[in-house]
Chains A and B, each alone.
Chain A
């Protein structure tokens, strides 16, 4: 008997707004002292009131659209109550009853569609660090805006768990709503898994694996959990509805909290924030700011760029936006340069936010095509285009300064060839070639290249040499 897994995923995305969701404090606490990005509102002094960040609303519209979702013209905030030191107010402000983002779908590279049930805005919690007999509270992360994306149970394999998580990450990065730094928890995944016999009418009992912070651990956790549940069912046992944690080192999930222990969050409409009513003009203006999404690029560059290269480049939204501006005939060479040269560079991460002018890249491709630049010279000039010292001088100027432009003027080349052929040290090679020793042509070409300080186009040189030594 075959068992089929059914999987739904909840994903929390931290938005990279300038300020927090409900206060004017800096939302970017990277490298800052604990509790230094906290306003009296975040700290929940008595009498403090949330002040909704309009930028977060705009980000939500863009994120929603990126997932082909309805944007609800009217939405509201609610309070979700629980006591814990990471929640200074004693409740989280979220959207329980009327979320801003409605139904939609995410299309995986394989073509599989995963439907989105809804997505909503909410504030993040603070961070606790536990020690032997005390714990420390850092509220820097309190009320960093989050979008929680809830998928329908449309996933049926661990691989699709990976692909869905990755595609969501790409969509959010392309929509420009998150820094997408998984290592620092910018996106966190909760995976709900149940297993049932093939053809069964009802789904099995599900377990939720919380707080996975990479595609790989989401995939591995799903794989483990599918096996665990299948084994239980095969042995005639029952799966318990519970929350489980994932341990990346042991590669196992372990029970954390059962359904009976689940909290009652006592949801209530947030009375301090009036309902959000968006006009269609406002929504459209925000959607208009969206660049192309991964699926658009796949369709557009199908047959131009190989799938391997495209899937690599799709991880870098700024490169895709740039590539989209490049002249069609140059897309192939520029995409190759992006993957084989730029991304191979150690400094590439630094360069990604400050790309060269599209005009310079087009010109580079043009020069390469006209053979004004050898392929080695093309790579060298390409990298210089990113160099803050060289930038803005223009491709031609840089190539000239580096002396990398190839000599294609046949008359000039002939003169250089003549000089080389007149030299005593080439006489033996000339004789050998004439005697039928084909490979000495390489030596002669090398001599000409040397004489031309590397500017000569080697294939032209060879042509001239062959003519002269006939």
Chain B
């Protein structure tokens, strides 16, 4: 435990884990309830193009990822709203385009290509102060925006059509939500990488979904479970000297399956008790 106080990179990693858990706990629940998991995957993979552009043009790759994620979120949202193309087709196209652009931008760089693994698979131990600053700003924004419009989010998520009829600006909320997802993905990229962000977005939210039937409580449980699992995953990766993102993701998915199994057994036991009582 003392090593955390000794090394700056571990302190950065710990703070990054907590920030990632907070945003993925809150936005993850919304993503799961609104069934936007694949759309989030599309936005995340499009970010790879931004990372490549950042390397090619000489600015922070995470800024490039941020710009590409926002552009993808707005692009997917616009095409979906216009209804001119099936949304899974749009997501697939953005997904591949982002990856392809990333590869092209890197190929266009003179000299040896940079190591993209930390963006693809995450490396929380290499989080810089600049990354951390961006993560803090984005996390605060995400949490604040969800909190100040919470009742509107709830109405919108439950029944978008009714929300529109009673005059809630659903187009605004939809685009805002997509931007929040894009911001969350940028926060998560350094923790789990573009390829594995979906696990961070969905696993804590899905675990919380099994433990509570209230939206707010689900968000709180997802934040807590995400934080605990991220820290344990980080510790495992440090002890075993393995990739941090991968160990966090494996741990989260295993915990989800464990919770699922326990719930299954509990429900069966409960059903049996009800049957015995009624007979």
Interaction A to B: no
Identify the B interface with A (CB < 8 A).
Answer: none
Identify the A interface with B (CB < 8 A).
Answer: none
